[in-house]
Amino acid sequence: MRRRVLDVAEESFQARGYHASSLGDLMAAAGVTGGALHHHFPTKKALALAVIDERVAAAVQQTWIEPVRAAPSAREGVRTVFEAVAAELEQQGYVRGCPLNNLAHELSLADADFRVALADIFAGWRQAIADKVRSDQASGGEGGTDPDRFAALTVAAYSGAMSMAKTSQNAGVLRECLAGLDRVQPPPSQNGLAAKRRRRVLRRQTIR
């Protein structure tokens, strides 16, 4: 029952936002009475914090951190995620935006607890990418790229692209930004070996 509430809240916060999601709507959608909801989440804020900690963080983990860690390189991981998300959005026909970004905009100025919870997720996201770049560099790839800089730009470009995609209801801007991002201080071509591998990985991932 707690899970049912979290499911509905996650979905509604994503689609309508925090303030526009009334507890009455959530109760109706989840088939839960006021007493049950109040038992698990004393306040609306507690519910939102649970959604952030248990769902939004997990979504970032699953969508970004794990694929990047599993990728052969940071750059290829970033490319994979951008294209997977763009493909998913184009398939479902509408764009609801990045859950983290959506809540961050609405809540980070409203309440300090919200803000730090969301900032932690952003920090973990960036660090995962930066760590991957460092790992690439330790194994000889990815020349002089500054890991933290690359991570910040990647996360910013993704977040901003999702903002525009949500506003224009068109995921195309994600692909444009990825193309631009790919031209950030590209590492030396290494006799075309890296390029060949990248193509192979891509073909596998986009089937998904």
Partner DNA sequence: TCCAAAACAGGGTGATTGTCCTGTTTGTAA
Partner DNA sequence: TTACAAACAGGACAATCACCCTGTTTTGGA
Question: Binding residues for a copy of itself, per CB under 8 A?
Answer: 15-17, 19-20, 96-97, 101-102, 104-106, 108-110, 115, 118-119, 122-123, 146, 148-150, 152-153, 155-161, 163-164, 166-169, 173, 176-177, 179-181, 183-185
Answer with the entry of DNA, a copy of itself, none that 195 interacts with (C-beta below 5 to 8 A by kind). Answer: none
Nearer to a copy of itself (CB atom), residue 70 or residue 109: 109
The distance of closest approach from Cβ of residue 110 to a copy of itself in the complex, given in angstroms and rounded to an integer, is 6
The vertex-106 CA angle with 40 and 26, nearest 5°, equals 35
Distance CA 111, CA 48 (A): 11
Distance CA 133, CA 43 (A): 41
**Given the structure tokens 């224009």, which residue do they identify?**
168
Q: What is the DSSP letter of 61?
A: I
Answer with the entry of a copy of itself, DNA, none that 157 interacts with (C-beta below 5 to 8 A by kind). Answer: a copy of itself
Distance CA 102, CA 104 (A): 5
Answer with the entry of DNA, a copy of itself, none that 69 interacts with (C-beta below 5 to 8 A by kind). Answer: none
**Given the structure tokens 């990047």, which residue do they identify?**
68
